[in-house]
Structure 1
Amino acid sequence: MGNMEMRPTVTPVDDFSPEADCETLRDAMSGRGTDEDEIMAILANRSTLQRQILKEKYEGEYGDELLRDLKRELRGDLEDCIMAVMDPPAVYEARQLRKAMVGPGTDDEILIEIICTKSNERIEAIKAAYAIVFERSLMEDVRDETSGDFKTLLSMMLLAERDESWEIDEDAAEADAQAIYDAGEGRWFGTDENEFTKVLAFRNYLQLRLVFLKYAVIAGNTIEEAIESETSGNLQKAYLAICSITKDVHGYYAQKLHDAMRGVGTDDDALIRFIVVRSEFDLGNVKDAYREKFDNGLWADISQECKGDYRRMLLSLIRED
């Protein structure tokens, strides 16, 4: 994934005064109207940890829950965005996974996007948050909602056992590349997805890059081309997401943000998900990758695509280029 410096767009504010913030928030929600500007000015400019302190302080000061008051005062996409920033990221992602699995049908895109792209530590944190918030097992729910090779892949990812070292082994990469080739393009009939899954779920990212290079030499085409010809549906999408994250994590998120704004209508859930979750981690890097890929800045595209207070909240989180 590369060892470059991560550039968040949202960082803790230095002269943090929970008392003053809570008073401002309370005033913004008192009386007849709601002062969305004041709410956004505070919540877009505090870290996750600082927002958790505000929740506690607010309840201590006023005997009311900050989230309940915010929910009562806000509407639509702005409400969704504010609710998203008020959760610790692992809790927010646990909620997104639950939402993707509740009701008829499952939103497999969200399962892929969260489960297939995270570090071991983050997967463990999401599993723990899911157990606390919903009193259910994420592993069991995912297994109930999915099937076949896709279920096997997600189950392996949820074990959180990827090698996260920076070590590479050329012989092992060659062996993995050959095994994948023999299991897919090198077979007369069918594909043995287990080989693909084993390699993509457990090897470290540097090692995977080497496997992909070796594969291209053996097969005469890219690993992505092999995945596209040998697999289909959700499994194919999940494999391709892992390849994309392996090669360029910031490019992956830039593409996702772009996709959320393409075509008719905007996928606001996706925009909120990517911007909120990456804002304290590497959204600065993602913005650079976005400009490189699409010639337009993320700021400009969101300005064009979204409206009103919601747009201002997103722009506050991504910061001007």
Structure 2
Amino acid sequence: MSSIKVPDHLPSPAEDCEQLRKAFQGWGTNEDLIISILAHRNAAQRSLIRNNYAETYGEDLLKELEKELSSDFERIVLLWTLEPADRDAFMVNEATKRLTSNNLVLVEVACTRKSIELFKVRQAYQVRFKRSLEEDVAYHTSGDIRKLLVPLITSLRYEGDEVSKTLAKSEAKILHEKIADKEFNHDEVIRILTTRSKAQLLATLNHYNNDYGNAINKDLKDDPNDEYLKLLRTTIKSLTFPERHFAKILRLAINKLGTDEWALARVVASRAEIDMERIKEEYYRRNSVPLDRAIAKDTSGDYGKMLLELIGHGDA
């Protein structure tokens, strides 16, 4: 459910490139023109624009944008203009660096992308960084967190709807026993969460809830500040109800003292073409405020404008 509004009469990639070129020239950059084009083109159209720009002007559109724009606005435009697999590779690489380390982003990418998308992210990562994604994740993590993240980021789950009820019941029992014994890092817990299809997991977690009277994430709140447990809960939520996960990330990003611009840009750029409408519904359900109004109140300038265009706002 994309929130991107593509115009009825779509200019050709050549026309878009000409307009973008104009936006970069003259006195100062024409940010409004950049927003009016890029925020209203889908991934395939943006890719054509980039190719056309390189052929026509012999320059990489991303490098031009980097040169012309700055701060948060630059970040959201660049993230948005990147190919989806490339964008994820870039975000995951940032998440493995010491200064911008963020294991939550690794879980998010591993669990909310389709298997084939995750595979493409790993390919894009190798091309861009000349290393494998899993070696960087393994190198920058340790202990239980490494034990969870490496199989998660390399997983190629079955994508279909086939579900075994018997398996769901028996694996719900395994999960319940291990969690009751506080063996949160048990190999079986990690195996189930990192290999089973999303449909199978959902069935297992429904059994867990019905047979043992508690949602699994409640039972995993043993220590709310434990990072490994936090990542386990995020894994489960991202695999089963991604829109809930993203609505929460947005709420935390907006309600912080000082907005978490990186989280805001990451979620909007990566979900605008996928499930932003569902995220907006979930956000409203949880916060009684429309997402566009929350973003409009909390951001400003070209950055705020770009975000609002990407989420497909009403009249924020």
Deviation at 1:319, TM superposition (A): 1.1
Structure 1 contact 191–230 (Cα < 8 Å) conserved: no
CA distance, structure 2, for counterparts of residue 20 and residue 290 of structure 1: 37
Measured against aligned partners, the alpha-carbon deviations of 1:65-93 in whole angstroms (never above 9, x if no partner) come to: 32222222211111111111110111111
Among candidates 120, 131, 134, match of residue 139 of structure 1: 134
CA distance, structure 2, for counterparts of residue 106 and residue 218 of structure 1: 38
Deviation at 1:205, TM superposition (A): 2.3
Partner of 1:234: 227
Structure 1 contact 9–284 (Cα < 8 Å) conserved: yes
Deviation at 1:181, TM superposition (A): 2.3
What amino acid is the match of 1:206?
Answer: A
Among candidates 65, 83, 86, match of residue 70 of structure 1: 65
Deviation at 1:163, TM superposition (A): 2.8
Give the paired residue count.
313
Measured against aligned partners, the alpha-carbon deviations of 1:298-321 in whole angstroms (never above 9, x if no partner) come to: 100000000111100111111124
Compare 162-171 and 33-42 and name the one that shifted more.
162-171
1:59 is the counterpart of 2:54: yes
Partner of 1:148: 143
Deviation at 1:22, TM superposition (A): 1.1
Among candidates 113, 117, 120, match of residue 122 of structure 1: 117
What amino acid is the match of 2:86?
Answer: V
What amino acid is the match of 1:41?
Answer: S
What amino acid is the match of 1:90?
Answer: A
Measured against aligned partners, the alpha-carbon deviations of 1:78-117 in whole angstroms (never above 9, x if no partner) come to: 1111111110111111111111222457322222222233
Structure 2 contact 106–153 (Cα < 8 Å) conserved: no
Among candidates 212, 221, 225, match of residue 214 of structure 2: 221
Structure 1 contact 58–65 (Cα < 8 Å) conserved: yes
CA distance, structure 2, for counterparts of residue 104 and residue 79 of structure 1: 20
Structure 2 contact 39–309 (Cα < 8 Å) conserved: yes
Measured against aligned partners, the alpha-carbon deviations of 1:2-31 in whole angstroms (never above 9, x if no partner) come to: xxxxx1012655523112111111111111
Structure 1 contact 173–208 (Cα < 8 Å) conserved: yes
Compare 113-122 and 274-283 and name the one that shifted more.
113-122
1:290 is the counterpart of 2:299: no
Structure 2 contact 104–234 (Cα < 8 Å) conserved: no
Deviation at 1:203, TM superposition (A): 1.8
> 3-state DSSP class of the match of 2:112?
coil
Structure 2 contact 175–189 (Cα < 8 Å) conserved: yes
Alpha-carbon distance change, 293 to 52 in structure 1, aligned in 2, over 3 angstroms: same
Alpha-carbon distance change, 190 to 279 in structure 1, aligned in 2, over 3 angstroms: closer
Alpha-carbon distance change, 61 to 127 in structure 1, aligned in 2, over 3 angstroms: same
Compare 302-311 and 289-298 and name the one that shifted more.
289-298
CA distance, structure 2, for counterparts of residue 217 and residue 10 of structure 1: 39
TM-score by length of 2: 0.92
Identity over the aligned pairs, expressed in percent? 29
> 3-state DSSP class of the match of 1:228?
coil
Deviation at 1:265, TM superposition (A): 0.6
What amino acid is the match of 2:19?
Answer: T
Compare 233-242 and 142-151 and name the one that shifted more.
233-242
Measured against aligned partners, the alpha-carbon deviations of 1:113-165 in whole angstroms (never above 9, x if no partner) come to: 22233221121011001001111110111111111222122121123232322
Partner of 2:186: 193
1:313 is the counterpart of 2:306: yes
Aligned 1:36-47 pairs, distance under 5 A: 36-47=31-42
Structure 1 contact 116–154 (Cα < 8 Å) conserved: no
Deviation at 1:229, TM superposition (A): 2.1
TM-score by length of 1: 0.90
Among candidates 56, 81, 86, match of residue 86 of structure 1: 81
What amino acid is the match of 2:114?
Answer: S
Compare 238-247 and 88-97 and name the one that shifted more.
238-247
Aligned 1:99-114 pairs, distance under 5 A: 99-104=94-99, 106-114=101-109
Partner of 2:241: 248
Unaligned runs of 5+ in 1: 1-6
Structure 2 contact 94–100 (Cα < 8 Å) conserved: no
Deviation at 1:57, TM superposition (A): 1.5
Partner of 1:18: 13
Alpha-carbon distance change, 54 to 147 in structure 1, aligned in 2, over 3 angstroms: same
Please identify runs of 4+ aligned residues in structure 1 that moved more than 3 A: 11-14, 189-192, 216-220
Deviation at 1:244, TM superposition (A): 1.5
Compare 294-303 and 11-20 and name the one that shifted more.
11-20
Partner of 1:3: none
